[in-house]
Structure 1
Amino acid sequence: MGLEARPAMWLVADADTKIYILGTMHALPRGTEWETGRVAGAIAAADELMMELSPAELAAAGEMFRTLAPRETPLAIEARLTGKALTGFRALEASGRSFGEDGLDDWAVMVLMGQRVAQNAGLSSADGVETGLTEKFEAAGKPIGGFETAREQLMLFETLDPQTQRILLTRAAEDAGDAVKEVGALTAAWGRADVAALEKVINEDIDSVPAARKAIITDRNRRWSAWIKRRMAQRGTVLVAVGAGHLVGSDGVPAMVAANGFKVTRVQ
């Protein structure tokens, strides 16, 4: 028996359309049981699944990262980070293989750090919600779509201004010592559908970097909410599954959909 999780889920419904909105974790501890309760019902009822990336785009993401990540001219990490940040970076890197950071953009180094932290925390994308949902919908022969391409998703980071990228990298490196513990706390909050705790973590993480918040959270939430609004005009049942951080707070998807005049109900 794995870890029991009951993640937060919302429902937008009218006479002939139901759209479930499920907050996901892209990577989870092995054996996490999340596809129970109301989520199991939503999976069974849905005619189609919409995720941030379709399975094909998800599969292409690694190659796209390798295309976009390199810097034009190498820059040593010592020229980017000092003090606590440099120490934190070095300690995290020492927990596995070298990141090869000198040849990479700041945003790309940060992505690799995030992956290492997840790995060190015992999380795996093979056990993430997207992987599990894809298996279920493919087995049932139901269509799976995506809001973005892998390139579009990575370009959100690639096109951040250099100063914003450096701030994000520095903060990730300064926090690297506590990162495994924080990811554990975030996963636990997700598992008990503690929306307030999720919002606190997400906001502390990104609020002090307004340009990043706009590009990585708010603008995408607005696009996804607009998609839901359009989709409500067609009949059927859809399961929308996106990162849990996109569903919390006043600029989260449920709040935006409600602001568009739809009735949004928390169902788990």
Structure 2
Amino acid sequence: MATLLPCLLAACGTAEPVRQATPAMWLVADDDTQIYMLGAMHALPRGTDWDGGKVADVIGTADELVMELSPEELAEAGGVFQSLAPRTAPLAMAKRLPPPALASYRALEASGSDFGGDTLDDWAVMVLMGQRVAQKAELDSSDGVETRLTQRFKDAGKPVGGLETAREQLMLFETLDPATQRTLLTRAAEKSGDAVKDVGALTAAWGRGDVAALEKVINDDVDAVPAARKAIITDRNRRWSAWIQKRLERPGTVLMAVGAGHLVGSDGVPAMLEADGLKVTRVQ
């Protein structure tokens, strides 16, 4: 399920709409500040209804929206990827992957345009594979959580910000050591035949607000590659937890929408906040 790792940056979904999704959401607050943490999917099938109930209330009352990337940074992500992805010297995919993994990689590549993998770093090939899986699952970022939230907040004249830059986010992959990158790429290729199904399991758990199932899906993917888990999940969660604690020093109501995988488990943001002595309440 390593193909899901790019989805943890831009969480993916499945082609079947979750008509009445109730994604998990938490609240951390003090006397004059409320910060709601909503588990997000960046791309969803058309018709997915997730922004009713408590989420609708928070959208109406929040003063600002904070996501992983601001809209401006998201617009820069493609160019940053193109600048970071190329290898110093080409290396044939046949020299990187064992025969079974190579065959699965070629099958995924054959479902669309050529990845151009020989000229790209291992992490970049894996990201392209994750995007292809999203395409095969018939996802649409225009129906994703962040896209819809951004429009709602902009229409209301409310500020929309981000926790990271596009470069910072992609450098999480670029700076992984070569052995970890190769392990991730090999696992992604080996499991690519099941990737659409795995993405479906992730989205179904998200739609039910089933944090235990979400944690299991994510842990099955990243626990086998500890260095990737530390860089892509744990370290970022720690930075975001620190941001929340700093933001509590100023009054207001904030909706923070980040990939759902960052809010579950013992190293999820809510758990980190609780470990630091803050009260965190699940509100949906």
Q: TM-score, normalised by structure 2?
A: 0.93
Aligned AA (1:36) = G
Q: Does 1:68 align with 2:91?
A: no
1:164 paired with 2:164, answer no
Q: Does 1:5 align with 2:21?
A: yes
Residues in 2 aligned to 1:84 and 1:2: alpha-carbon distance in whole angstroms: 34
**Cα deviation per residue 1:156-176 (whole Å; 9 max; x = unaligned)?**
100000000000000110000
Q: Does 1:84 align with 2:100?
A: yes
* Paired position in structure 2 for 1:237: 253
Q: Quote the Cα distance in structure 2 between the aligned partners of 1:2 and 1:166.
A: 34
Contact kept, 8 Å, 1:229 with 1:260, in 2: the verdict is: no
Q: Does 1:116 align with 2:132?
A: yes
Q: Distance in 2 between matches of 1:259 and 1:16?
A: 22
Alignment size in residue pairs: 268
Whole-angstrom distance in 2 between the partners of 1:137 and 1:117: 30
2:237 matched to 1:221? yes
SS at match of 2:255: strand
In 2, the alpha carbon distance for the partners of 1:84 and 1:234 equals 54
Deviation digits for residues 96-150 of structure 1 (CA, Å, limit 9, x no counterpart): 1110111000000000000000110111212111111111111011011111000
CA deviation profile, 1:194-225 (whole Å, cap 9, x unmatched): 10111001111011111111110000000000
Paired position in structure 2 for 1:196: 212
Q: RMSD across aligned C-alpha pairs, in angstroms?
A: 1.0
1:30 corresponds to 2:46: yes
Is contact 2:201–2:217 with CA below 8 Å preserved after alignment? no
Deviations 1:32-83 (A, max 9, x none): 1111111111111110011000000001001100010000101111001113
User: TM-score normalized by structure 1?
Assistant: 0.98
Is it true that 1:150 corresponds to 2:166 in the alignment?
Answer: yes
Paired with 2:192 and 2:161, the residues of 1 have a C-alpha distance of 34
| Offset, 1:2 | 7.0
More off after superposition, 57-66 vs 253-262: 253-262
Q: 1:238 to 1:112 in 2, by over 3 A?
A: same
1:47-58 equivalence runs, <5 A: 47-58=63-74
Q: CA deviation at 1:242?
A: 0.4
Q: Is this contact kept in 2: 1:2–1:30, CA < 8 A?
A: no
1:56 is paired with a residue whose SS is helix
What 5-or-longer segments of structure 1 have no aligned partner? none
Tell me the residue number matched to 2:280: 264
Separation in 2 of the partners of 1:57 and 1:4? 30
Paired residue type of 2:146: E
For 1:123, what is the secondary structure of its paired residue?
coil
Q: Distance in 2 between matches of 1:215 and 1:114?
A: 18
Structure 2 counterpart of 1:29, one-letter code: P
Question: What secondary structure does 2:278 align onto?
Answer: coil
Aligned-partner Cα distance in 1 for 2:242–2:164: 14
Amino acid at match of 2:38: L
Q: Percent identity?
A: 74
Which residue in 2 is equivalent to 1:176?
192
- Residue in structure 2 matched with residue 98 of structure 1 by the alignment: 114
Question: Residue type of the partner of 1:92?
Answer: L
Shift of 1:15: 1.4
**Native 8 Å contact 1:10 1:265 kept in 2:** yes
Secondary structure, counterpart of 1:250 in structure 2? coil
What stretches of structure 2 of length at least 5 have no aligned partner?
A: 1-16
Q: Distance in 1 between matches of 2:224 and 2:214?
A: 16
**Aligned equivalents of 1:200, 1:83: Cα separation in 2:** 29
1:14 paired with 2:30, answer yes
The aligned residue for residue 44 of structure 1 is 60
Could you tell me how far 1:84 is from its partner in structure 2?
A: 2.1
CA contact (8 A) 2:18 2:204 kept: no
